[in-house]
């Protein structure tokens, strides 16, 4: 078992946990605290009034007083129960919502992280562990919420029970031994012993629970992969059937069920320790009862007081047990909270400059005239053994059409990622109008680019919102962009036009779209942004030949006046670009126009061109 944190650190971590809870789930702790307070008071109020009734019955028997007590029992219970119900409703509603707010903690962090950090294995692992612990077992923040209730009710219980039990020691029985103040210590000793036994049991139980949690995380991951990802994902359904993965899933389930049976042992052990603690608590309680009974026998108090003292001592014991349990359990909560904070504290490494892009006096080019230069840029992915880009130097100006070609893994997409500052170069620099791009305000810098990534994603929102990436948009402009991207025909058949939802996540009437249609919408989204640089990574890979031909025919119109950077495997589609650069193993090995490159019979471009050309008729060349 991991050593638990020192008390000082636990206090700091717990405090931070409460602050986080309050900022994401405002009011939750307040409602839970009030509810716990009311819930803890209720039984003790009943014990006290019941004792008074019995005393009255066995001693003075005053009928009006008895009625007064009965009315007090009924009235107190009614009021406290009503209050409890109201508070419980409010708290339960907030508690049900808290899981959504916990998700928001994770999504806020993911949004704020640098893309480069987001991709790192350690970051993903830290997120996964913190997330699974919180959502599978409520470890960390969930525990804080529940322990707040426990702490409040046990504190109230201890205070009120103590006040009900004071007269037990002050009532004289006439027997010097039984009236000795040492009995206070003896009773307290047995009560604390019960609490201690409970806390040790919790400690042992937590030890097993942590191990069990780890195994369960593995179980949960495997189970959700096989039961959801593999079996239910429509995207995988074809491959699962063709490659007969049902058998692999069946074997995995069999294995997991056997593992689950092994876990039954851990569950039994976890249940055993609290049961043993109950034995110690039972012995302690019995001692207290005997003490109360002997004093009553000696005439120190009446039958009603017996009920009061026994009830109060039991509540006092339970309160002390609970408080010790909360303190022990807090060690586990802190370990998990520390994991969560370790993830939340991952810093944003990206240097964010302050220069605005539009307001720059652009050398002698005038406004909106941009020049980008890669100056001896090398880049290695975090944890990779070799550079994915090697000494890349390249300059391009606004209005130019640049094609980037090369085999798979030659570094084309990495080049674009660096251009968009998703990563910073490991060596060399990228300049915008002669100034390192790190010096510009990042958001402003990003506003220069419209990108259609190869693995772009559309969202399950209405079509118009997808194109404009905003709920507030210009419908005419969105429609124009869709038309230019070749989506006119399909748009005319959509039931609600731009208001039609894509996919069915939010709307049962949402439409499913093909890969080619999605690519057209992604292109329209890039057009709508209307940024000076248009980057298209394999923009027509999912289109049919007719749609592809249409896009090429209107390519000049689509990218009019903008700098277009165009990545493609289909070399014939690069012919209309002003310049073609050929990437190979992370380096630029050739550059020039199509005619120049194809004339170099020893070059890579010639090789790639002829490898593809054999599949086309002579007139394609
Ligand atoms: P291309 O776009 O030309 O197919 P990429 O730029 O995607 O090539 O990849 C260039 C090289 O970088 C490849 O060797 C690839 O395996 C590696 N690479 C790409 N992405 C990552 C990543 N996130 N982490 C580590 N290596 C990567």
Rounded to whole angstroms, the Cα distance separating 356 from 358 reads 6
- Return the closest-CA partner of residue 15 out of 130, 106, 206, 148: 148
| Segment holding 439, helix H or strand E | none
- State in Å: Cα 614 to ligand 1 middle: 28
- Do 80 and 41 contact (CB within 8 A), yes or no? yes
| Segment holding 384, helix H or strand E | none
- State in Å: Cα 97 to ligand 1 middle: 41
Query: What does the pLDDT read at residue 615?
Result: 54
Rounded to whole angstroms, the Cα distance separating 367 from 363 reads 9
For 255-292, the pLDDT digits (tens) are 767 766 666 677 777 788 888 888 998 999 899 999 99
Rounded to whole angstroms, the Cα distance separating 245 from 241 reads 7
Burial class (CB in 10 A: 0-12, 13-18, 19+), 490: middle
- Return the closest-CA partner of residue 540 out of 563, 559, 567, 565: 567
Which of 121, 124, 380, 384 for a ligand 1 pocket mutation test, highest count of atoms within 8 Å of Cβ? 384
What is the SS3 assignment for 172-238?
Answer: CCCCCCCCCCHHHHHHHHHHHHHHHHHHHHHHHHHHHHHHHHHHHHHHHHHHHHHHHHHHHCHHHHH
- State in Å: Cα 415 to ligand 1 middle: 10
- State in Å: Cα 400 to ligand 1 middle: 26
Non-local (6+) Cβ contacts of 334 within 8 A are 4, 5, 9, 10, 13, 14
Atom of ligand 1 nearest to the CA of 583: 3
Angle formed at CA 99 by CA 22 and CA 252, multiple of 5 degrees: 145
- State in Å: Cα 409 to ligand 1 middle: 5
Residue of minimum CA distance from atom 27 in ligand 1: 381
DSSP state of 620: G
Query: Which residues are paired to 440 by β-bridges?
Result: 355
- Helix 121-137 × helix 141-170 angle, to 10°: 40
Residue of minimum CA distance from atom 12 in ligand 1: 388
- Residue 113 CB coordination number (10 Å): 20
Tokens 């510009």, residue located = 440
Query: What does the pLDDT read at residue 366?
Result: 45
- Return the closest-CA partner of residue 431 out of 422, 444, 440, 423: 440
Cα torsion through 457, 458, 460, 462, rounded to 10: 170
Rounded to whole angstroms, the Cα distance separating 398 from 257 reads 61
- Return the closest-CA partner of residue 168 out of 284, 322, 298, 319: 298
Query: What does the pLDDT read at residue 229?
Result: 67
Atom of ligand 1 nearest to the CA of 384: 25
| Segment holding 299, helix H or strand E | none
Which residues' Cβ are closer than 6 Å to ligand 1? Answer: 119, 381, 384, 388, 406, 408-414
Cα torsion through 444, 447, 449, 455, rounded to 10: 110
- State in Å: Cα 381 to ligand 1 middle: 8
Query: What does the pLDDT read at residue 234?
Result: 65
- State in Å: Cα 407 to ligand 1 middle: 11
Which of 413, 426, 452, 587 for a ligand 1 pocket mutation test, highest count of atoms within 8 Å of Cβ? 413
- Residue 603 CB coordination number (10 Å): 17
Query: Can you list the residues of the chain whose pLDDT is less than 50?
Result: 1, 359-366, 617-621
Atom of ligand 1 nearest to the CA of 383: 25
Using DSSP bridges, classify how beta strands 389-397 and 371-379 pair: parallel, antiparallel or unpaired. antiparallel
- Do 25 and 97 contact (CB within 8 A), yes or no? yes
Query: What does the pLDDT read at residue 208?
Result: 74
Residue of minimum CA distance from atom 17 in ligand 1: 388
For residue 372, what are its two tokens? 């980008």
- State in Å: Cα 388 to ligand 1 middle: 6
- State in Å: Cα 416 to ligand 1 middle: 11
Sign of CA dihedral 354, 419, 386, 429: negative
Rounded to whole angstroms, the Cα distance separating 486 from 489 reads 8
Beta strands in 481-619 (DSSP E): 533-537, 563-567, 579-584, 587-592
Using DSSP bridges, classify how beta strands 579-584 and 587-592 pair: parallel, antiparallel or unpaired. antiparallel
For 548-595, the pLDDT digits (tens) are 777 776 667 777 777 888 887 777 777 778 889 999 999 999 999 888
For residue 410, what are its two tokens? 């030659």
Counted residue by residue, the chain has a size of: 621
For residue 215, what are its two tokens? 């195994």
Rounded to whole angstroms, the Cα distance separating 305 from 164 reads 10
For residue 119, what are its two tokens? 């991709």
Residue of minimum CA distance from atom 13 in ligand 1: 409
Query: What does the pLDDT read at residue 49?
Result: 84
Beta strands in 286-379 (DSSP E): 371-379
Three-state SS at 8: helix
Atom of ligand 1 nearest to the CA of 454: 2
Query: What does the pLDDT read at residue 118?
Result: 83
Sign of CA dihedral 60, 61, 66, 67: negative
Query: What does the pLDDT read at residue 465?
Result: 92
């Amino acid at each position: 078992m991991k050593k638990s944190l020192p008390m000082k650190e636990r206090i700091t971590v717990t405090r931070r946990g409460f602050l986080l809870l309050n900022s994401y789930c405002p009011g939750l702790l307040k409602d839970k605290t009030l509810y716990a307070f009311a819930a803890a008071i209720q039984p003790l109020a009943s014990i006290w009034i019941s004792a008074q009734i019995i005393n009255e019955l066995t001693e003075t028997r005053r009928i009006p007083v008895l009625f007064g007590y009965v009315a007090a029992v009924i009235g107190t219970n009614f009021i406290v129960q009503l209050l409890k119900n109201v508070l419980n409703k409010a708290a339960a509603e907030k508690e049900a919502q808290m899981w959504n707010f916990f998700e928001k903690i994770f999504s806020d962090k993911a949004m704020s992280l640098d893309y480069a950090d987001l991709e790192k294995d350690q970051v993903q692992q830290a997120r996964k562990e913190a997330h699974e612990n919180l959502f599978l077992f409520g470890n960390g923040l969930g525990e804080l919420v529940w322990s707040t209730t426990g702490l409040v009710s046990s504190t109230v219980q201890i205070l009120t029970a103590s006040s009900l039990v004071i007269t037990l020691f002050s009532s004289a029985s006439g027997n010097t031994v039984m009236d000795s103040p040492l009995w206070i210590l003896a009773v307290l000793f047995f009560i604390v012993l019960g609490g201690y036994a409970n806390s040790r049991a919790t400690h042992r139980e937590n030890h097993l629970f942590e191990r069990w949690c780890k195994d369960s995380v593995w179980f949960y991951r495997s189970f959700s992969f096989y039961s959801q990802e593999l079996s239910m994902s429509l995207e995988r359904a074809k491959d699962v059937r063709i490659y007969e993965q049902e058998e692999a899933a069946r074997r995995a389930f069999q294995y997991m069920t056997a593992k689950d049976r092994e876990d039954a042992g851990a569950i039994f052990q976890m249940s055993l320790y609290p049961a043993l603690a109950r034995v110690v608590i039972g012995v302690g309680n019995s001692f207290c009862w005997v003490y109360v009974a002997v004093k009553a026998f000696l005439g120190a108090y009446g039958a009603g007081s017996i009920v009061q003292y026994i009830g109060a001592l039991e509540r006092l014991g339970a309160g002390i047990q609970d408080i010790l349990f909360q303190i022990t359990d807090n060690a586990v909560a802190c370990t998990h909270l520390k994991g969560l904070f370790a993830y939340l504290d991952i810093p944003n490494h990206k240097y964010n400059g302050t220069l605005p892009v539009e307001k720059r006096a652009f050398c002698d080019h005038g406004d909106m005239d941009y020049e980008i230069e890669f100056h001896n840029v090398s880049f290695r992915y975090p944890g990779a053994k070799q550079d994915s880009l090697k000494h890349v130097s390249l300059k391009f100006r606004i209005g130019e059409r640049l094609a980037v070609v090369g085999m798979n893994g030659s570094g084309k997409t990495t080049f674009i990622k660096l251009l968009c500052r998703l990563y910073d170069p490991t060596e060399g620099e990228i300049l915008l109008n002669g100034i390192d791009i790190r010096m510009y305000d990042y958001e402003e810098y990003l506003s220069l680019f419209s990108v259609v990534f190869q693995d772009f994603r559309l969202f399950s929102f209405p079509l118009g919102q997808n194109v404009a990436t905003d709920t507030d948009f210009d419908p005419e402009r969105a429609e124009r962009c869709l038309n230019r991207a070749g989506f006119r025909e399909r748009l005319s058949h959509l039931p609600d036009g731009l208001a039609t939802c894509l996919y069915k996540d939010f709307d049962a009437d949402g439409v499913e779209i093909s890969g080619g249609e999605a690519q057209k919408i992604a292109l329209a989204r890039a057009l709508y942004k209307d940024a000076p640089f248009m980057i298209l990574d394999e923009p027509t890979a999912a289109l049919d030949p007719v749609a592809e031909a249409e896009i090429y025919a209107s390519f000049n119109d689509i990218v009019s006046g903008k700098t277009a950077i165009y990545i493609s495997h289909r070399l014939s589609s690069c012919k209309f670009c002003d310049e073609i650069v050929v990437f190979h193993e992370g380096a630029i090995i050739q550059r020039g126009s199509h005619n120049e490159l194809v004339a170099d019979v020893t070059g890579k471009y010639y090789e790639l061109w002829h490898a593809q050309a054999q599949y086309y008729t002579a007139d394609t060349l």
